[in-house]
Amino acid sequence: MQKDVMFAGFGGQGILLMGKILALAAMDEGREVTWVPSYGAEMRGGTANCNVVISDRPIGSPVIRNPMHLVVMNRPSLEKYGPLVRPKGVVLINSSLVTADTGREDIDELTVSANDIATEIGSIKSANIVALAAFVARSQLVDFELLRECVKYEFSKNEKLININMEA
């Protein structure tokens, strides 16, 4: 069974890192995984997105035009990618920054005020981890405990951040 997700938002929100941590967790589960970033004339504050594909078999195309699931951290990403999600997919919307919704009934829409939650627990920079945790809890793409381990691993150089992210 092949599953995929697109993470999208502003550059600087940790979009690529969300995908990387999910990919790490999938790899640790012994599954095939690919992570592909948008690259090119990128800049801080511009748009950023990445695709993660997880499968039990060797992965064909790592580029996905119609994602199964979507995590959007800002409004332009919702407008651009919201309509592309395949029916029944999970769409997580960062409601701290996005007041709109997809307007679709055929998907599983989830709103999380990731920035506000992250600010409450100590650092707005953890908004991406808040959103990632909520997304994994809903979509069950990887084991949640394993995801915690991968977040710890990725931030292993900074203990303070681990604590903040664990709360997230």
Partner 1 sequence: MSKVLMKGNEAIGEAAIRAGCLNYFAYPITPQSEVAEYLAHRMPEAGGVFLQGESEVAVSYMIFGAAGCGAIVFTTSSSPGISLMSEAISYIAGAQCPAVFVNIVRGGPGLGGIQPSQADYLQATKGGGHGDYRLLVMAPASVQEAVEMVMMAFPLAEKYRNPVMILGDGLIGQMMEPVDFPENLKTEPTNKDDWASNGMDTRGANSPNIVKSLFLDNKLLNDNNMALKAKYDRMKKEEVRYDTYNLDADYEMLIVSFGTMSRVNRTAIDNLKEEGLEVAMIRPMTLFPFPEEAIRQASLKENCKAVLSIEMNMGQMVEDVERSVQGKVPVKWYGTCGGDVPTPEEIMNFIKEQK
Residues at the site binding partner 1, with contacts judged by CB under 8 A = 20, 23-24, 27, 32-37, 39-40, 58-63, 65
Nearest CA to 125 among 28, 11, 14, 7? 14
Q: What are phi and psi of 123, to 5 degrees?
A: -150, 125
Q: Which is closer to partner 1, CB of 55 or CB of 111? A: 55
Beta-strand ranges (E) seen in 17-107 are: 32-37, 47-55, 69-72, 90-94
For residue 71, count other CB atoms closer than 10 A to its CB: 32
Contact 42, 48 (CB under 8 A): yes
Q: How far is the CB of 163 from partner 1 (least distance, A)?
A: 24
Q: Which is closer to partner 1, CB of 41 or CB of 105? A: 41
Helix (H, G, I), strand (E, B) or coil at 53: strand
Token pair 């995929």: residue: 4
Q: Which is closer to partner 1, CB of 33 or CB of 131? A: 33
Q: Which is closer to partner 1, CB of 26 or CB of 93? A: 26
Length of the chain: 168
Q: How far is the CB of 135 from partner 1 (least distance, A)?
A: 19
Token pair 């790592």: residue: 62
Q: How far is the CB of 112 from partner 1 (least distance, A)?
A: 25
Amino acid letter, residue 86: R
Q: How far is the CB of 123 from partner 1 (least distance, A)?
A: 25
Q: Which is closer to partner 1, CB of 41 or CB of 103? A: 41
**Which DSSP category does 105 fall into?**
S
Q: How far is the CB of 4 from partner 1 (least distance, A)?
A: 12
